[in-house]
Amino acid sequence: MAKITFITSSNEKITVAATEGSVMELAVNNNVQGIDGDCGGVCSCATCHVFVAPEDVDKVGVASEIETDMLELADDANEYSRLCCQIPVTDAIDNVVFTVAK
Amino acid sequence: MCTSKDICVIIGASHAGVNTAFNLRKEKWLGKIILIDADPELPYHRPPLSKTYLTANTSTTNLLKPIESYKKDNITLLLGKKVTRLDAVNRCLFLDNETKIDYTKLVLATGAKPIIPTIEGLKETASYFCLRTAADIVAIKESYNASKTKKVVIIGGGYIGLETAASLKKIGAEVVVLERESRILKRVATAVISDFFRDLHTQNGVQILENKEVSKVENTLENGVKVTKVHCTDASYFTAEVLIVGVGVIPNTELAKQAGLKLKNGISVANTGETSNLNIYAVGDCAYHYNLHYKTYVRLESVQNAVDQSKIIAANICGNPLIYNTIPWFWSDQYNVKLQIVGLAENYTDYIVREEQDKENVISVWYFNNDELLAVNAINHTKAYVFGTKFIKESKKIAKEKLADTSIPLSKDIAVVN
Ligand SMILES: Cc1cc2nc3c(=O)[nH]c(=O)nc-3n(C[C@H](O)[C@H](O)[C@H](O)COP(=O)(O)OP(=O)(O)OC[C@H]3O[C@@H](n4cnc5c(N)ncnc54)[C@H](O)[C@@H]3O)c2cc1C
Ligand code: FES
């Protein structure tokens, strides 16, 4: 079970837990504003852009090549950017904080 | 602009309708929102149906929104209810059980339905399936699981038919795709793309047969198994236990017609989403609209179009004038190949194909109208898709000789500084 916190652009803090699926699915299922997941999680829409808290980067891991390329579509992407449909929910990301991109 | 007494009724609760409902709340629609769909399932994503859903060992669809979201945003969902009659004069509609519902504003998000070709014997064949709804895919899965020979014939080689072929192959089917045209994907892509996907399928053991027009189907027995014999005009025939028809869709315009709305390959809408009736809007697969960038009328069948249009019409319904002005994009996943498309490759004068050096199956096709980049089809090449998107949006001119030279890696430098 991983407990994950989302911070939305209106500064709402949502902490939820799950054992499976992707971080995008977790966000959509819990109504996290700003994560639309339009492509259903196949790394094709970039509507699931989040910033990983700097201290959590090691836990979350790095983006794949496709993901890095897709992130170029987002104007506000930076070194902490991830498309969260590409992040599986596992114990490894327990207590991680994601800030939803605008 | 709107009051709590207003009622916005949305017909169709799929990508377009659901997003419209939630966007209406974002735009501060104060009144009621009623979202109606004939499909009894909680609204789901369609793209995975022909991809992961077909191969997955589960009967749960990917929901567009969890049920709590509808409650939270006070959106009334009427599922499993078909709207059969629309009275635009008295601003009301009727469900199949004759329940009457009034509206202040109406949104037609009725999408499209599969075309059933007129093939002799098809309608009498109990075991043919379409590829549009979760129920269709469940039925295909069930029929496939029950089949003894695992023989599947798919009529139509478009994206969805090919995705289905790939998915069924993955779970062990013997698949034949019959395409009437001289090549698969003819309507939507250039020959390079068709060739690529034909080879991909062939390598994976799916039989792709082109120039095959199906003329007749019949139910018969073969080695004690009930099969469907699929005959083609060239006297060849194929047997199948599962027959799938994926030859395209037509927009659902019956209600729009009843309301006397202007129609043309779909429901004609202005750039605001407004139909020829002031109080009725149309969105998504059913909407025939003008693309400002390409200066042409189109009806698009894509998630991007449904989702982006829904934002525009929600804003306009709430009195915030916005116009629809986007570059279309689309994706398709088959086997482990990812196709990403941006732009409209209509009326191109030339195209450039890049096959990246030292990388297998990393290909992009760049379509031009003389100097103008129109569209990019990218196979396993997200970088090309992303650059293509940016260049088209910014109307950048491309140094074609650089683009064609694969010894030069793809980078921003292929755009000529304007
Ligand atoms: C198998 C499959 C795979 C796809 N893959 C991709 C892909 O990879 N990428 C992509 O971009 N797009 C893909 N698409 C296309 C995409 O799903 C559609 O463009 C999108 O669903 C359009 O949304 P829509 O809301 O406009 O229409 P639809 O999804 O067609 O929804 C219309 C809804 O209206 C309802 N309705 C119609 N008339 C009535 C009535 N009278 N009363 C009540 N309800 C009514 C229908 O039941 C339906 O649920 C795929 C589609 C399918 C079927
Ligand atoms: S959900 Fe589309 S890229 Fe993540």
**Is B114's C-beta closer than 6 angstroms to any atom of ligand 1?**
no
What is the fold of B336-414?
A: Enolase-like; domain 1 (3.30.390)
Which residues of chain B are within 8 Å of residue A75 when distances are taken between CB atoms? none
Which positions ≥6 away from A79 have C-beta within 8 Å?
A: none
CA distance B415 to chain A (A): 16
Dihedral sign, CA of A28, A34, A38, A42? negative
**Is A34's C-beta closer than 6 angstroms to any atom of ligand 2?**
no
- CATH number for region B7-113+250-318: 3.50.50.60
Taking only residues 296 to 325 of chain B, the set having a beta carbon closer than 8 angstroms to any beta carbon of chain A reads 303-304, 307
| Atom 5 of ligand 1, residue of closest alpha carbon | B47
**Is B308's C-beta closer than 6 angstroms to any atom of ligand 1?**
no
Q: Are B375 and B349 in contact (CB under 8 A)?
A: no
Q: What is the pLDDT of residues B322-365, one digit of tens each?
A: 999 999 999 999 999 999 999 999 899 999 999 999 899 999 99
Say which CATH number the domain at A29 has. 3.10.20.30
Distance from the alpha carbon of residue A89 to the mean position of ligand 2, in angstroms: 15
Q: Are B339 and B333 in contact (CB under 8 A)?
A: yes
CATH 3.30.390.30 region(s) of chain B? Answer: 336-414
* Beta strand segments in B200-285, E: 207-209, 214-222, 225-232, 237-240, 242-245, 249-251, 267-268, 280-282
Domains contained in chain A, number: 1
Q: What is the pLDDT of residues A37-69, one digit of tens each?
A: 999 999 999 999 999 999 999 999 999 999 999
CATH 3.50.50.60 region(s) of chain B? Answer: 7-113+250-318, 128-247
Q: What is the pLDDT of residues B198-252, one digit of tens each?
A: 999 999 999 999 999 999 999 999 999 999 999 999 999 999 999 999 999 999 9
Minimal Cα distance from B45: which residue of A?
A40
- CATH number for region B128-247: 3.50.50.60
pLDDT (0 to 100) of residue B188 = 86
